[in-house]
């Protein structure tokens, strides 16, 4: 596994599963929380994220497929492409706006929506 992103809440790893590129998103433990509380929070947030990704897909939002869910980790389909931040032209941003609209129509509000958290695929 290759670490491809390290954030305050999670680490993303590029891996391979059955010959496919996948991303493993692992929520990181917080040393300042009691271990059992920390695990409970990470498990709860991981399950909630999985439910929201499924709901988004059902709403027609192009999000990665969930391949597996563990206590504090998700295995997600790897999406080839570049960060939206590198493609801020009007056509791409309009398309992205329509996607965000579908997300909101699905009853989902993204808590960290930035051009660095979205991938434009070919």
Domain architecture of the chain: domains with CATH: 2-120 (3.30.200.20)
Please give the pLDDT value at position 95: 95
Does position 122 have pLDDT exceeding 90, yes or no?
A: no
- pLDDT of 49: 96
Residue range 8-37, pLDDT digits in tens = 999 999 999 999 999 999 999 999 999 999
Catalytic one of 38, 72, 89, 112: 112
CA–CA separation, 42 vs 40, rounded Å?
6
pTM of the model: 0.87
Catalytic residue check, 112? yes
Give 118: exposed, middle or buried? Use CB within 10 Å, 0-12, 13-18, 19+: buried
End-to-end CA distance of the chain: 25
Residues 87-121 have pLDDT tens digits of: 999 999 999 999 999 999 999 999 888 999 899 99
């Amino acid at each position: 596994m290759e670490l491809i992103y390290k954030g305050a809440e999670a680490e993303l790893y590029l891996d391979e599963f059955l010959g496919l590129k996948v991303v493993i998103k692992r929520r990181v433990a917080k040393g300042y929380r009691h271990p059992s509380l920390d695990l409970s929070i990470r498990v709860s947030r991981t399950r909630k994220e999985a439910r929201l990704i499924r709901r988004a897909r059902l709403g027609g939002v192009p999000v990665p497929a969930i391949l597996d869910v563990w206590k504090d980790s998700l295995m997600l389909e790897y999406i080839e492409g570049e960060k939206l931040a590198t493609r801020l032209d009007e056509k791409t941003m309009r398309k992205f706006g329509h996607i965000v609209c579908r997300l909101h129509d699905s009853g989902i509000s993204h808590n960290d929506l930035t051009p660095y958290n979205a991938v434009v695929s070919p």
